[in-house]
C-alpha cells in the first residue's frame, strides 16, 4: 500500500481536528467562551455516533470502500460550512435559557447540526482502519500526523486569515481528501475525482459571504451589535488572529463617550473616540489626543485616577494597554516611566501604527514602553520594580452582568497572581484594580477577599491597613498597598472621593458614618462585606453569602464564577423582578449542555447497540466490562480537560492550550496505543490485566508528580517565547499520554478475546463517558479545582484493572471446566493486544477486524 493511498486519511484527520479548534474560535465570536467545552463534547459525540454506525454497517461499507470514503469526506466538506452556517442562524439566545425553556430546543438543534462534520470525518477514519487491518501502523502514522498538523496548523492559519476564511480551507481539505479517495473507485474515478478536486479549489478560493460571515449573526446582546444599531455607526477597521477579532467602530452621530467610573462632578466633554471591540464584546477606547493634557482632564475624575493622589511621578506598569486610555491618564498625571503590556499584537498595531495619529502617538513616546506579553507572565517574570501596577477595566459590563464569563478561566485575578503583583512593587508601591460594580456585589468582594488572602500569604498580619476601596455609580477601584497606608494616604483618598462624589467603602479607620453618602444604595454592601472579610467571621460570611466570593486560585481560576445552587430557587422566583440578571448564565448553560449531551449520547451511541443486546452471551460480565470502559472514558478526558485548563496559564491563551494539548495527547496517546502489545509482552508476561495494572500505576505516579511540579515549572518558564513553551508543553504531556494510551486497547483485546459481541458495547460505553466527561470535567474543576479532577481521574484509572482481574480469574476457571465455549476465543483476533490495532480511548480510534469503533475528541 503506497503512501498516496493513505494521504486522504491524513487530510481528513487534519481537517476534523482543525474544524474542532476553529469552532471554538467561531463560537467565542458569535456567542461566548464557555461554548469551548460544548464543542469538545460535540466532537466526541460525532465520533461516537460514527463508531456505532461503522461497527453496525461495516460489511456493506467495506464492499464500497473508495466510494464510501469519498462520500463521507465530501459530506464533511459540505457540513463543515453548512452546519455552522445553520447553527449560527438558529434563534438561540443563551441568556434566555432560564426563563424560556424553548431555548433548550434550539441548543439541542445546535448539537444536531454541529455533530455532522465530526460524524462524517470520523467515518472516513473508521473505514480506513477497517479496510487496512494489516497496515494499522501506517494508517496510525498518517492519522496522527494529520491530526497534529490540523490542531496546530489552524492556529497558525488564524494569524493569516479571518475565521470565516479558515472555515473554507477546512471544508476544502475535506473535498481534497474525497478527490484523492475517489481515484480508487472502479468506475468514473477520473470524473468524480476531478469534480471533487474542483470543488475543493472553489471552496478554498470563493464561497458566498453569506455562507461564512460571522459578524451579522453575532449575539444581539454583545456590545458590537448594539453599537452598530446607532445611526451612521460603521466599522472602520477589522483585524483577526487566534487571540480575538478586533473591530474598530466610529459613531459620528452619537459619539462614543467611554469613560468607566466617570464622576458625576465632571463637566468636561471627552474628545472624539473610536471603540475597539474584541470578539464583539470586550471594549476599549482610542481617544483623540493632540498633545494637550488639558483635553483629557476628565480622566482625573474616574475612580481609576485614585492611585495618582498617593504617588508622585510613579514608575508604573499597565496590565492591559488596550486603546491607551490608561496610558493617557498616566501621562497626564506625570508618570515618569510607563510600561504597558498588551497580549494581542493586532491591538498594538492598531494603537501604535494604524491609528497612531488619532491617539497622538502616545505609544511612541520615549517614556512609554509597549510590551507584547501576557499580563500575568510579564508581572511574574519582569526584573523591574514599580510604584504602581494598574489593571484597567477592559471587559464589557453586559458580559459581566449576564454572567457569561463564569466558565472562563482567568489567571489574572487569582491569589497567586496578586502575590506576583505585590512582588513586582517597590516598598511603597500599590496595585490598583478597577472592576464594574454590580449590586448585590460579587466580583468586587471576591477581589477584596483575594487581596486579603494574598497579603496574608505574604506575611501581613493586618491586611486592612493595606487596602482601600472606593466606588462610583458603576465602577469600584481597589488599592492594595505593599506597605501600610499612612494617615496622609487616607486623607488623600478621602479628599479625592469627596471632590468627585465617590463613596468610600473601605480605608483604614473608616466608620459607618463615612459610607453611602453620594451614590446611595439601600444597603452599603461593600463596606459591610469588607468588615466581615477582615474580621473573625470571614469564613462564615463567605459561606453564607448569596454568591460564591471565595478567592480564586491557580487551582480554581474561575474568578467570575459566583454561582451557588442554593441561591437558584430564590433567583428563579425573582426572575420577573430582575433576579434573572443575577444568575451566572455560563454555568447554567454548561449544565443544560451536559444534560443534553447525556441524552444524545445514549440515543446516538448506546441505543443502536441496545437493539442488538441479545448477541452478547450471558456468561459475559457485562457490568464489570462496562464499568471498566466507563472508568477509562471518564478518566482520560478528566486529565485532558484539566491539562487544557492548567496549560492556559503557561501558554497564555485558551485557544493555544486547546490546540497544543489536543495535539499532544492525540499523538502520544496514539503512540502508547501502538506499543501497548510490546508493553504487555515486556512487563505483563502476556497478561493484559498485569500490563494494564502497571500502566495505570505509572499514570498515577506521573499525574501526582505533575500536580506538585507543574506550578513551579510554569513559574520558572513563563518568560520563554511561545515556540519554546509549546515545545515544553508537548514534552511534558508526552510521558503521561503514552501510558494513558495503553489501558483501552489492552482492555479491548482482553475483552474481545472472550466476547466478540461485546466490542461495540465497550466502545459505546467508553464513547458516552468521553462525551459527558468533557463537560463534567469543566464543571468539577469549578468546584474542586484541577487537583481534584486529576485526583478523581487517577482513582478511576487505579480501580479499572480490578474490574477485569476478577473476570479473568473466573473465566479461566470456567474455561478449564468447560463451561465457557471456546468459540469466543477462536473467532476474534485481539489485535490491540498484539500491538496491531488499538487507539487511546479519548482522542483516537481503535480498530478491530470484526467490529470497528471510531473515536476521537
pLDDT for the residue 855: 43
How would DSSP label each residue in 783-812? HHHHHHHHHHHHHHHHHHHHHHHHHHHHHH
CATH class, domain 1-216, is mainly alpha
Task: Give the rounded distance of the alpha carbon of 45 from its chain centre.
Answer: 18
Q: Which three cell numbers stand for residue 426?
A: 517597590
CA angle (95 as vertex; 92, 97 as ends), nearest 5: 70
* Beta-strand relationship, 467-471 and 386-391: unpaired
Gap between the Cα atoms of 747 and 805, Å rounded: 11
Cis peptide before 483 (omega within 30 of 0): no
Same fold, 1-216 and 594-857: yes
Q: Let me know how long the chain is.
A: 857
pLDDT for 296: 94
**Distances in Å between the alpha carbon of 322 and those of 285, 328, 392, 684?**
7, 11, 9, 58
Domain ranges of the chain: 1-216, 278-560, 594-857
C-alpha cell at 170: 477546512
Per the CB < 8 A criterion, the answer to whether 375 and 319 are in contact is: yes
Q: Give the closest residue to 239 by CA, choosing from 345, 342, 343, 319.
A: 345
Predicted pLDDT of residue 185: 54
Question: Which cell is 574 given?
Answer: 425573582
Look at residues 266, 275, 276 and name the one whose alpha carbon lies nearest to residue 296.
266
Contact assessment for residue 449 and residue 549, using Cβ atoms and an 8 Å cutoff: yes
Considering all CA atoms of the chain, what is the largest pairwise distance in Å, rounded to the nearest integer?
Answer: 97
Q: Which phi and psi angles does 590 have, rounded to 5°?
A: -65, -40
Q: Which helix (H) or strand (E) holds 310?
A: none
Q: What is the DSSP string of 168-183?
A: HHHHHHHHHHHHHHHT
Query: Residue 404 contacts by C-beta under 8 Å, 6 or more apart in sequence?
Result: 32, 33, 34, 94, 95, 585, 586
Query: What is the pLDDT, as a whole number, of residue 400?
Result: 43
594-857 CATH fold: Growth Hormone; Chain: A; (1.20.1250)
Distance CA 581, CA 574 (A): 10
What angle do the packed helices 189-205 and 163-182 form, to 10 degrees?
170
Residue 507: how many other CB atoms lie within 10 Å: 22
Phi-psi region of 685 (alpha: psi -120 to 50; beta: other; left: phi over 0): left
**Confidence (pLDDT) at 620:** 56
- Residue 380: name the closest of 343, 416, 428, 430 by CA: 416
- CB 451 within 8 Å of CB 414: no
| Per-residue cell: 73 | 469526506
Lay out the sheet containing 273-278: strands in order across: 234-241, 244-250, 273-278, 282-287
Within 10 A of 108 (CB to CB), how many other CB atoms are there?
18
Place of cell 461497527: 55
Helices 654-674 and 136-158 pack at an angle, to 10 degrees, of: 170
Nearest to 315 by CA among 302, 334, 328, 341: 334
At 94, is the secondary structure helix, strand, or coil? helix
Q: Which is it for strands 273-278 and 467-471: parallel, antiparallel or unpaired?
A: unpaired
Strand partners, 476: 435, 471
- Cα end-to-end distance, the chain, whole Å: 28
- Domain 278-560, CATH class in plain words: alpha beta
Q: Where are the alpha helices (DSSP H) in 208-316?
A: 209-212, 223-227
- The candidate with the shortest Cα–Cα distance to 287, out of 324, 260, 251, is 324
Number of Cβ atoms within 10 Å of the Cβ of 531 = 17
**Contact in structure between 196 and 182 (CB atoms under 8 Å):** yes
Q: For position 831, what pLDDT does the model report?
A: 36
**Residues near 51 by Cβ (< 8 Å), separated by ≥ 6?**
122, 126, 605, 763, 764, 767, 845, 852, 853, 854, 855
Mean pLDDT by 10 residues, the chain (857 residues): 71 92 87 72 82 79 85 90 86 70 80 91 84 68 79 89 88 87 61 56 54 55 86 92 91 90 92 92 90 93 95 94 92 94 92 94 93 89 93 63 56 94 96 91 93 96 96 94 96 96 95 91 91 93 91 91 75 58 66 79 73 57 79 91 89 84 86 85 83 94 92 87 90 94 84 67 74 85 91 94 67 44 37 33 34 39
Amino acid at each position: 500500500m503506497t503512501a498516496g493511498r493513505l494521504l486522504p486519511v491524513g487530510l481528513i484527520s487534519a481537517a476534523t481536528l482543525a474544524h474542532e479548534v476553529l469552532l471554538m474560535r467561531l463560537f467565542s465570536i458569535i456567542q461566548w467562551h464557555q461554548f469551548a467545552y460544548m464543542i469538545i463534547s460535540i466532537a466526541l459525540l460525532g465520533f461516537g455516533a460514527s463508531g456505532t454506525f461503522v461497527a453496525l454497517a461495516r460489511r456493506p461499507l467495506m464492499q464500497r470502500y473508495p466510494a464510501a470514503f469519498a462520500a463521507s469526506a465530501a459530506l464533511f466538506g459540505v457540513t463543515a460550512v453548512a452546519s455552522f452556517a445553520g447553527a449560527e442562524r438558529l434563534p438561540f439566545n443563551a441568556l434566555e435559557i432560564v426563563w424560556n425553556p424553548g431555548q433548550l430546543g434550539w441548543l439541542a438543534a445546535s448539537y444536531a447540526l454541529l455533530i455532522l462534520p465530526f460524524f462524517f470525518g470520523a467515518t472516513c477514519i473508521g473505514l480506513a482502519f477497517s479496510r487496512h487491518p494489516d497496515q494499522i501502523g501506517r494508517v496510525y502514522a498518517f492519522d496522527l500526523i494529520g491530526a497534529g498538523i490540523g490542531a496546530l496548523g489552524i492556529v497558525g492559519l488564524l494569524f493569516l486569515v479571518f475565521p470565516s476564511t479558515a472555515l473554507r480551507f477546512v471544508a476544502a481539505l475535506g473535498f481534497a481528501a474525497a478527490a484523492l479517495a475517489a481515484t480508487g473507485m472502479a468506475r468514473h474515478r477520473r470524473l468524480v475525482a476531478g469534480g471533487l478536486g474542483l470543488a475543493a479549489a472553489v471552496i478554498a478560493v470563493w464561497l458566498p459571504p453569506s455562507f461564512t460571515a460571522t459578524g451579522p449573526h453575532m449575539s444581539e446582546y454583545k456590545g458590537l451589535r448594539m453599537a452598530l444599531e446607532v445611526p451612521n455607526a460603521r466599522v472602520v477597521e477589522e483585524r483577526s488572529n487566534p487571540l480575538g477579532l478586533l473591530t474598530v467602530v466610529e459613531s459620528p452621530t452619537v459619539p462614543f463617550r467611554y469613560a468607566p467610573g466617570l464622576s458625576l462632578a465632571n463637566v468636561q466633554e471627552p474628545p472624539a473616540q473610536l471603540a475597539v471591540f474584541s470578539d464583539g464584546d470586550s471594549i476599549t477606547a482610542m481617544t483623540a489626543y493632540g498633545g494637550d493634557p488639558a483635553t483629557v482632564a476628565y480622566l482625573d475624575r474616574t475612580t481609576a485616577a485614585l492611585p495618582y493622589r498617593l504617588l508622585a511621578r510613579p514608575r508604573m506598569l499597565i496590565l492591559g494597554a488596550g486603546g491607551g486610555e490608561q496610558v493617557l491618564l498616566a501621562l497626564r498625571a506625570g508618570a515618569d516611566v510607563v510600561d504597558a503590556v498588551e497580549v494581542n499584537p493586532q491591538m498594538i498595531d492598531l494603537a501604535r501604527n494604524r491609528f497612531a495619529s488619532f491617539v497622538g502617538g502616545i505609544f511612541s513616546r520615549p517614556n512609554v514602553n509597549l510590551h507584547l506579553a501576557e499580563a500575568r507572565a510579564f508581572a511574574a517574570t519582569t526584573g523591574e520594580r514599580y510604584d504602581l501596577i494598574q489593571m484597567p477595566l477592559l471587559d464589557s459590563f453586559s458580559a459581566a452582568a449576564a454572567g457569561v464569563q463564569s466558565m472562563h478561566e482567568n489567571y489574572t485575578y487569582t491569589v497567586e497572581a496578586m502575590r506576583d503583583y505585590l512582588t513586582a512593587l517597590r516598598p511603597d508601591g500599590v496595585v490598583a484594580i478597577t472592576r464594574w460594580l454590580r449590586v448585590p456585589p460579587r466580583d468586587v468582594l471576591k477581589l477584596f477577599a483575594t487581596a486579603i488572602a494574598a497579603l496574608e500569604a505574604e506575611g501581613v498580619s493586618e491586611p486592612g491597613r493595606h487596602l482601600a476601596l472606593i466606588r462610583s455609580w458603576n465602577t469600584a477601584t481597589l488599592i492594595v498597598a505593599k506597605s501600610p497606608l499612612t494617615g496622609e494616604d487616607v486623607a488623600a483618598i478621602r479628599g479625592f472621593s469627596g471632590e468627585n462624589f465617590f463613596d468610600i467603602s473601605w480605608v483604614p479607620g473608616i466608620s459607618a458614618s463615612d459610607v453611602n453618602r453620594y451614590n446611595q444604595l439601600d444597603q452599603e454592601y461593600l463596606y459591610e462585606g469588607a468588615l466581615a472579610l477582615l474580621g473573625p467571621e470571614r469564613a462564615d460570611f463567605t459561606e453564607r453569602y448569596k454568591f460564591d466570593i471565595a478567592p480564586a486560585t491557580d487551582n480554581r481560576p474561575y474568578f467570575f464564577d459566583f454561582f451557588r445552587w442554593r441561591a437558584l430557587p430564590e433567583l428563579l422566583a425573582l426572575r420577573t423582578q430582575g433576579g434573572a440578571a443575577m444568575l451566572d448564565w455560563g454555568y447554567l448553560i454548561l449544565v443544560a449542555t451536559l444534560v443534553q449531551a447525556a441524552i444524545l449520547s445514549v440515543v446516538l451511541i448506546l441505543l443502536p447497540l441496545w437493539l442488538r443486546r441479545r448477541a452478547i452471551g450471558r456468561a459475559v460480565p457485562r457490568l464489570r466490562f462496562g464499568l471498566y470502559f466507563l472508568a477509562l472514558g471518564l478518566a482520560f478526558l478528566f486529565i485532558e480537560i484539566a491539562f487544557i485548563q492548567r496549560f492556559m496559564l503557561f501558554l497564555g491563551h485558551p485557544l493555544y492550550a486547546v490546540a497544543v494539548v489536543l495535539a499532544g495527547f492525540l499523538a502520544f496517546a496514539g503512540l502508547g496505543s501502538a506499543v501497548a502489545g510490546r508493553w504487555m509482552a515486556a512487563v505483563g508476561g502476556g497478561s493484559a490485566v498485569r500490563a494494564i495494572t502497571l500502566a495505570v500505576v505509572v499514570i498515577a505516579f506521573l499525574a501526582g508528580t505533575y500536580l506538585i511540579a507543574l506550578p513551579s515549572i510554569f513559574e520558572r518558564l513563563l518568560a520563554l517565547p511561545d515556540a519554546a513553551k509549546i515545545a515544553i508543553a508537548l514534552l511534558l504531556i508526552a510521558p503521561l499520554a503514552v501510558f494513558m494510551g495503553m489501558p483501552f486497547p489492552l482492555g479491548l483485546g482482553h475483552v474481545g478475546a472472550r466476547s466478540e459481541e461485546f466490542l461495540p458495547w465497550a466502545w459505546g460505553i467508553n464513547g458516552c463517558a468521553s462525551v459527558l466527561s468533557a463537560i463534567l470535567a469543566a464543571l468539577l474543576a469549578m468546584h474542586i479545582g484541577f487537583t481534584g479532577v486529576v485526583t478523581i481521574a487517577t482513582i478511576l484509572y487505579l480501580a479499572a484493572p480490578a474490574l477485569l482481574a476478577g473476570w479473568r480469574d473466573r473465566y479461566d476457571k470456567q474455561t478449564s471446566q468447560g463451561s465457557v465455549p471456546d468459540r469466543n476465543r477462536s473467532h476474534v483476533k485481539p489485535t490491540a493486544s498484539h500491538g496491531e490495532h488499538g487507539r487511546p480511548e479519548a482522542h483516537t480510534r481503535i480498530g478491530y477486524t470484526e467490529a470497528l469503533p471510531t473515536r476521537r475528541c
